Structure 1
Amino acid sequence: MRNYQTKKIWQDLKKQILEDRSVLVFNGLVLLLFLGMTVYVKMAGTYYGSDYYARVNFIKLLFAEPFRKDIPYLALFTHFSEILWCISLTICLFSFTLLKRIRHSHKGDPFIFFSAIALTIFLLDDIFRLTLTLDLLVGIPKVIMYSLYGLGLVSYIVAFWRRILSTPYILLLVGFSLFIISGMADLLPIKGEGTPVILEDGSKILGLVNIILYFWDVCEKEVMRSRNLSNE
């Protein structure tokens, strides 16, 4: 009996490996990246001499915890906003994949797909501070980056305005309005310490909550509608 179960498990494992090669390839590439970092650290001791610790410290900083014992709540709301971006993005990506399977279509839902792309761009900007980094290191003013994002959102609305009007767009409108307030608070020289921060980051967090509610509602209704159609 045990031999039969072992054989069955082994056969199932081989079947999953053959069917999910992309998963193995992805994990293999990530492992190669980490292996390359390990080799780099080892070689640094031989070839870089006194510069060894600086180069090793660079690798350690890539995996450092954003935590300070003296200020455990440091950047709490900043990290919270990043989580909210991820929630919206996850809803869209999961729903897009699910809809493709329900509809048996390779195209999926363009509205949800491009929504996921937009959310990915904003998430990357928020995590890696792309707008701030380009301003400080490259000299690209924030107003240019915000203008590009604004142009992208306008293009998004123009492309899908009919679809948007069939959804609870008030949530999307409120979310975008709060993002505009957040951007203006970042650009304008508002006096004070707490007020600019609350206007910028507080508006962004509230806007993200509205965006999550919007895509949750839109994706849930679209998945249920497609599921009912496929069962007819």
Structure 2
Amino acid sequence: MLYVREAPGGASRHKPRERVSSDSTITSAVVGRLGVSVLRGSRVTSRHSDQFRALLPILVGLYLPTLILLGTAMVLSIQADIPISRFTRDPAAILGRNPFIGVLSNIGILVWAGCAGVCFFASAVLRARGVKQEWPAFFLFAGLVTAVLLLDDFFLLHERIIPRYLGISERILFPVYAAMVMGYLATFKNNLPRTNYLLLVLALGMFGLSLAVDRFPESILSWHHLFEDGFKLLGIVGWFGYFVTSAYRVVTSAAMADRP
């Protein structure tokens, strides 16, 4: 308890002074901090909720096809009595072989996939920026053509799957793929001169050499597979280089045009 000196003439020298309590001040501070914390927490929760709602279509697009794929593998495993590991594990691990088996072919698949992804992304960006429709369509159909070639190469469609299960000869499929590519080039012939088209010509030439080598028996040409698959890989890389550089130039040009 605190004391103060009494005025002269008082009966006593000191008397109790009422203590100025800080309890109310502390309580107010605590309540204030709690209120701020609750407010911040509600704002964070609101942001999380808004972000989740915005991401919901993306999450559905990402995970629903993946879950369907996993479910399909499970059904096939049960119905055909195939171990599920045959669908989920790496082929080299299943066969107990060196993981570098088919490494150049796998690299080609990665390059195909990268090219398709760049084309689809460029098409989406250009469409969002309101660029004239010919360029978004140019890259959209480039991505579709690349995706078809990717799937054919990855699953050996023209070599194994289609001839075996659909009865369509490999000799028929090559003209179909060639017509698909030529149709794409004819559709967008006005766009080609504004791109690095020499890269595309080089890529198509490499694919042609790969097909030519494929016609030779392995016994005649030494290092047959090196030339056949090597020219194909060079063609894939050239195809990738053409569309990636074209996408970069068109997208950056559109971005520069939007600047004030």
Q: Does 1:65 align with 2:90?
A: yes
Equivalent pairs: percent with the same residue? 21
1:20 maps to 55
Cα drift, residue 123 of structure 1: 0.5
Cα RMSD over matched residues? 2.7
Unaligned runs of 5+ in 2: 1-35
Q: Please, what TM-score do these two structures have when normalized by structure 1?
A: 0.82
Distance 1:170 1:95, change over 3 A: same
2:31 match: none
Aligned residue for 2:122?
Answer: 95
1:120 has 2:156 as partner: no
In the TM superposition, residue 104 of structure 1 has moved relative to its aligned partner by 6.9
CA contact (8 A) 2:206 2:231 kept: yes
Alignment equivalent of 1:11, drawn from 30, 33, 46:
46
8 A contact 2:124–2:136 mirrored in 1: no
1:29-178 equivalent positions in 2, closer than 5 A: 30-31=66-67, 34=70, 44=78, 55-57=81-83, 59-68=84-93, 69-103=96-130, 109-133=136-160, 134-178=162-206
CA contact (8 A) 2:197 2:242 kept: yes
Higher relative contact order (Cα pairs below 8 Å, separated by 6+ residues): 1
Deviations 1:63-87 (A, max 9, x none): 1212255423111111011011011
SS of the aligned residue for 2:115 comes to: helix
Find the residue that maps to 1:103 and give its secondary structure.
coil
Q: Specify whether residues 193 and 28 from structure 1 end up closer, same or farther in structure 2 by C-alpha distance, changes over 3 A only.
A: same
Change (3 A) 1:230 1:183: same
Is it true that 1:203 corresponds to 2:256 in the alignment? no
**Residue correspondences, number:** 221
Normalising by structure 2, report the TM-score: 0.74
Structure 1 runs not aligned, ≥5 long: 49-53
Distance 1:7 1:167, change over 3 A: same
Deviation at 1:106, TM superposition (A): 8.0
C-alpha distance in structure 1 between counterparts of 2:172 and 2:103, whole Å: 28
Query: Residue 240 of structure 2 aligns to which amino acid in structure 1?
Result: I
